[in-house]
Structures are given as C-alpha cells and as structure tokens.
A and B are shown apart, each in its own frame.
Chain A
Amino acid sequence: MTQPPRPRVLVVEDEPDIMLLIRLWLGAGGFEVVEAQTGSEAAAYLESDESFDVVLLDLRLPDIDGWTLLTRIRGNERTRSLPVVIASAHAGSSTARRAAEFGCSYVSKPFNPETILAALRSRLGRPAGRLSSTGG
C-alpha cells in the first residue's frame, strides 16, 4: 500500500526558534517542510522548485519585505496561483485586507498548531485566483 504524497510547504520565517516550532507542528501534521530564512532564499527556492503546494510567509523578513516577495510571486507566471498563507505579528484589518487583495489567507502571530494547520489545509488544492470567487 502506497502512502499519499505529503503536501510540500515552503516556510519563510527568519526567527530560528519559531521556525523550529513550525517545523515540529507541520511535520506532525503531515506536511513536508522546506525552510527559507530570508526572502531571497525563498525566491530562489520558488525559482528552482515547482513542487510546492503552499507557502507560509512571515511578513517581516531580514532582507526584503514580505509584501515585495508576494508581489514577485504573483507577478511570476509559474507561481501566480500558488496558495500563500501570510503570518504576521502586525495584526490589523489593513493587513487582512491587503492579504485578501493578493488572494492570500492570513493568520496573526502568535499562532498555535491548530490555527496554522487549519489555514494551510484549507488552502491546499485551492489556487489563489479562485479565492475571491469562493468567498474566502
């Protein structure tokens, strides 16, 4: 009996200890985690690897702003409809609105394993472009 493939998530997070937590949670939740500590590292992964199912993106990154990276993802033909979940400590309605404009889900930091797994699972198999038409 073959196991179904584990969904691949690219986690973009600069805090090593938060990364550790996410790695543990997502690993236990059945995801295969690929880690990027900077925006440029994440961009390089997305450029060379087409097999990601979803991206978990921290907005505060050491090199480039999370929104800038998101604009690049949406501007690239290959990654245009890649599901993205934004994680940010700067909680606010403007962040949520902007996330929706990019066709992204949004979870506010600090998060717990349940919220983050639910957010990622709900986006699997749902390309970004269809987000608004399905109502969220």
Chain B
Amino acid sequence: MKRSVCLIFVILLLFLTGCSTQTVAARDIFAMDTLISLQVWGDEESIDTLRVEIERLDRLLSVTDENSDIFRLNHGEAVGGEAAALLSLAVQYSEETYGAFDPTVYPLVQLWGFTQETQWVPDPDEIESALSQVGTANILLADDSVTLQNGAAVDLGGIAKGYAADRCRAILDASDATAALLSLGGNVLTYGTKPDGAPWRIGIANPDSPDHAIATVTVSGTAALVTSGSYQRNFMKDGKTYHHILNPETGYPSESGLASVTVIADNGAMADAYSTALFVMGLEQAVEFWQNHPTFEAVFITDDGQIIATPGVDLSDCEFTVVAK
C-alpha cells in the first residue's frame, strides 16, 4: 500500500517536472513608435520571425519613413499591395462605425502636434480647414491600388498594431509555439495555453494611474485585447487636458464621457479600430453598436470611474456593471 502511494507521487512529480521544462524566449523591440514585448513558449526561433515581420510592417506603414508606402501615399503617389489592402480594411471599419474610426484624421493629428514632442491647441479656423481634408471619401480605392484626393493624408496608427498582432498570430500558427504573449505598446495578444495551464490574466490600465491595473480580464487561449484611453497621449493647456483621440467630426479630442475602452476579440485589427471608435462614440452609442455587432467583448471605464462590461468578459478584481444583450 505505502509503496503504491509513493509510486503515484513519483509519477505525478515527474509530470510536474515535465511541465516546467518549457522555456520562454523573450525579446523587446522598439517599433511602431512604441515598445513591443514578445514572449514565446515552445519555439524559440519563431521570435526572430515575429521581430522581422513587425519591423517589416513598421517600414511599410510608417507615416514618417520616406520609403514607406503610407508616406508615399500621403505625398501623392498611388500604392498597392498590403498597404492598400489594410487601408481598404480601415475604410471598412470606418464605415461600420459610422466614421467614429477614421484613418484620414492625420491632418488633424499633425495640427494638434501629436506627431511631435510638443503639442498645442490649434485655432478653430485651422481645425475647420483640416476637417475639410478628413473623410474616407478622400480615399480612392481601385482594384489593387489606392490614391488620396483633396489634400487628404492617412495614418494607420489606429489599426496597424492590431494588424501586426494578427500577422504575428499567423506566424505562431505556422510554428511549433505552444503559447505566446505579445504586448504591442499595450495592445495585448494572448496565444495558446500558458505552460502552467492557467488562463491568461490581463490587467486593464487604470486611467488615473496607467502603471497599475483597475481590473483583470481572464482569457483562455488566443485573443487580442486593445485599449484606447484618454490617458495614453495627452497634454495640459490652461488647466485643461487634451488627449490624442480626436473626434473626426469636430476635430477636437473626443469628450464622450469615457476614459478608456478595451475591446477583446479574435481579430486584432478589428479590436484596434473598434476600441478607438467606441471611445469616440461614448457609452450609450458604443453599447448599441456592440448589441448590433456581437463579434467582440468590451470593457468601458467612464470619466467618473465606473466600469461597465459586456456579458462575455470574465472580469475580476473590481466592481462593475454588465450591459444587457
């Protein structure tokens, strides 16, 4: 009897030892104007493939790199291939969100100085003038190429990191990786099952203290989690805070009553675009949008600190309200 019990424990301990031998490959990359942290279990070599792919997308989609397709597009050239395809997807998300997400806000972003180290509040006349260049009608999509008109300029910053997460996921699918955790400047991709078998525990940044989590989302398997928040890039002028998420309709930072929106979805590009759009919409319209597009889950944090979640979110470590389906 005693010998049998000992044998069971030895066998179970051997199993446990086997579980802990899986090593993690980790790497930080500075790309897409942010820090990208990669962790991969089960296939150390795939981390190099991920790095190469992210750096390729950075070169392709940068608004400042003179050799990028987006830079050339913004300077009067026609571009095709992957940049055109992604722009087409961005237009689709823009139409789905009634223009709340709009890749053509770049003239406004430049006007406010969010592309530079110093920001300022533009004159209303300048905003009015820049607004005349905003709108996806200024993107001319034709077969496999795209051009811009009316002095428009595009910035895929609101979708590029989510798209990069999707590309990384495809690379991981083709590898021997069993699990991965990617953070693309706060856009998180969980992939596979953690080596210890536990679900992923992803915090949602506290808008008042972004270094800390205000809530925890538990995720099993693969998912993209993207947060858009007013705390991410902002500046203060005459006692008022101005953030970087501009309302394409007004040209001013969105004042929708939301401090952040986190979208959880299978598709990273969609989660990226929707998080911005829902932030601009405000809670009421965003919930209505979710009710009509039940392809994602979301967590909303209001300016006064309330947390509201869709029913499919496994949320903990906070008090929250669940919206009706």
Partners in one complex: no
Q: Chain B interface (Cβ within 8 Å of chain A)? A: none
